[in-house]
């Protein structure tokens, strides 16, 4: 159990390739932090620097007020679950779990006790004497988890541990990992590219792109209060719909103006949009924040292109300004392709973005 700080951390490969730029993070004791982003955004590199597997080019990593930036991995008292599980093929499951404990020079009886404890926790007691090549992928993954838990580390590191599992297993393991976190109360740093995974597991999410942190916040923050277009697009399925609008003033009231509709804005927006009067901005509306067959006056009418039933809800695909727009509706609402239907935007759910910087206004 520990807290961790990254201060102005940079990572450079070769002469000119900056994989990670100016990362500043504070992770509290017992927190479940997720590093989320597309491939190549630097999240795994950052995790590996925390583990000590990659050299830090610039900056400092501080754990419990101790600078561990140059400390070798075997002295950092962390444990890690690798994407490929990295279970040692020449050792039995028991030996895999016991190895780190042996290195710590614990007594045989203590080691045995701990191994059996974690084996029970991860439900692999039956496999303790088997070799990894006799196990399925999912079983090996649990060995990797058991091995990591057994060490009782200060910090848990997990590098996309669920990515290689099939969909159903992935979801069930997700829950198991979270329950282990709750039980052990250990600080956990979890890397993934799957935003739904991040949303369901994280206390806080760190969204990264091109080596930089784009937003840090709780799942609620990144979902409803997205810092920029990238985050709004990355988080949530189906992704946020982006519509180009112009800011106009009429009768001292602010409007979002689009060839197909006009939206009246609250006065609370006036201050923020002061410099944008007359210019173009980007409106972001999440699919579930568009109401179909609204009770109040509809904003505009769309024609349905497709409907994708998902069981618990339906997705209606349509076109606005000649761009695809997706709407999430309850499963009872059915619109057939070719049918026209009215829509309105839910109040207070509108996100506005600067078209150049893509930042939230």
Partner 1 sequence: MKLKKKWIPYILIAPTILYYFFFWLSPVISAIYNSFRNPKGGFTFNNYIEVFTHTSFGLAFRNTAFIALVSVFIEFIIALALALLINKKFKGSGIFLFLAMIPMALPAVGAAAIWKTGLTTNGWMNSLLYYLGFLEKGARIHFLNGSTFSVMWLIIFVDAWQVIPSMMIILLAGLQNLSKEAQEAGYVFGANRFRTLMDITIPMLKPTIVTAVILRLISAIQIWLIVVLLFGFDRIPLLLERVVYYKEEVSRLENSYQIASTYAVIVAVIVTTAAVLYLKLSGAFEKYEEVGE
- For partner 1, the binding residues (CB under 8 A) are 51-53, 72-74, 76, 78-80, 82-90, 99-100, 103-104, 131-133, 140, 147, 151, 157
Quote the radius of gyration of the chain (alpha carbons, Å).
25
Question: What's the closest the beta carbon of residue 44 comes to partner 1, in angstroms?
Answer: 11
How many angstroms separate the CA atoms of 222 and 230, rounded? 11
In angstroms, give the least distance from the CB of 84 to partner 1: 5
Structure tokens at 118: 């974690």
CB nearer to partner 1: give 52 or 217: 52
CB of 127 to partner 1, least distance (A): 14
Provide the minimum distance between the beta carbon of 153 and partner 1 in the complex, in angstroms, as a whole number.
9
Compute the least distance from the CB of residue 131 to partner 1, in Å.
5
Sheet with 66-67, strands from edge to edge, namely 17-27, 4-13, 58-63, 66-67
DSSP string, 96-151: HHHHHHHHTT--HHHHHHHHHHHHHHTT-GGGTTS-GGGS-HHHHHHHHHHHHHHT
What is the smallest separation between the CB atom of 100 and partner 1, expressed in angstroms?
Answer: 4
Helices (H) and strands (E) in the chain, counts: 8, 20
CA distances from 237 to 215, 230, 286, 288, 328 (A): 18, 14, 9, 10, 10
Between 72 and 278, CB nearer to partner 1:
72
Smaller CB distance to partner 1: residue 37 or 52?
A: 52
Tokens encoding 119: 């084996």
> What minimum distance in Å lies between the beta carbon of 53 and partner 1?
5
| Rounded Cα gap, residues 137 and 143, in angstroms | 10
β-strands 187-192, 32-36 pairing: parallel
Please say which residue, 148 or 243, places its beta carbon nearer to partner 1: 148
CB of 79 to partner 1, least distance (A): 6
Q: Which residues contact 219 (CB under 8 A, 6 or more apart)?
A: 198, 199, 202, 205
Q: In what order do the strands lie in the sheet with 261-264?
A: 261-264, 253-258, 241-250, 280-285, 351-353
Nearer to partner 1, 188 or 195 (CB): 188
Pick the closer one to partner 1 by CB: 101 or 214: 101
d(CA 3, CA 158): 16
Nearer to partner 1, 71 or 317 (CB): 71
């Amino acid at each position: 159990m520990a807290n961790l700080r990254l201060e102005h951390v940079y990572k450079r490969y070769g002469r000119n390739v900056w994989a990670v730029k100016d990362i500043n993070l504070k992770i509290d004791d017992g927190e479940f932090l997720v590093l989320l982003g597309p491939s190549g955004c630097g999240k795994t590199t950052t995790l590996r620097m925390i583990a000590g597997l990659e050299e830090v080019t610039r900056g400092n990593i501080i754990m419990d007020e101790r600078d561990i930036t140059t400390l070798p991995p075997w002295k950092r008292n962390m444990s890690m679950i690798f994407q490929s599980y990295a279970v040692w093929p020449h050792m039995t499951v028991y030996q895999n779990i016991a190895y780190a404990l042996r290195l710590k020079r614990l007594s045989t009886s203590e080691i045995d006790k701990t191994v059996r404890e974690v084996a029970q926790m991860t439900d692999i007691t039956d496999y303790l004497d088997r070799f990894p090549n006799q196990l399925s992928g999912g079983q090996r993954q649990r060995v990797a988890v058991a091995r990591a838990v057994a060490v009782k580390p200060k910090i848990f590191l997990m590098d996309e541990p669920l990515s290689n599992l099939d969909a159903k297993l992935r979801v069930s393991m997700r829950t198991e990992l979270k329950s282990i976190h709750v039980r052990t109360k250990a600080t956990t740093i979890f890397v993934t590219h799957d935003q739904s995974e991040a949303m369901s597991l994280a206390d806080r999410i760190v969204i990264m792109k091109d080596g930089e942190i784009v937003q840090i916040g709780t799942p609620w923050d990144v979902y409803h209060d997205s810092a920029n277009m990238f985050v709004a697009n990355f988080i949530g399925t189906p992704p946020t719909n982006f519509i180009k609008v112009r800011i106009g003033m009429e009768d001292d009231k602010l409007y979002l103006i689009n060839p197909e509709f006009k939206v009246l804005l609250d006065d609370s927006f006036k201050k923020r949009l002061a410099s944008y009067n007359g210019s173009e901005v980007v409106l972001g509306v999440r699919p579930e924040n568009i109401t179909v067959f609204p009770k109040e006056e509809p904003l505009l009418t769309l024609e349905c292109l497709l409907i994708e039933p998902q069981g618990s809800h339906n997705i209606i695909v349509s076109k606005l300004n000649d761009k695809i727009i997706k709407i999430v509706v309850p499963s009872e609402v059915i619109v057939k392709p070719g049918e026209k239907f009215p829509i309105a935007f839910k109040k207070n759910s509108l996100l506005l973005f600067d078209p150049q910087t893509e930042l939230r206004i």
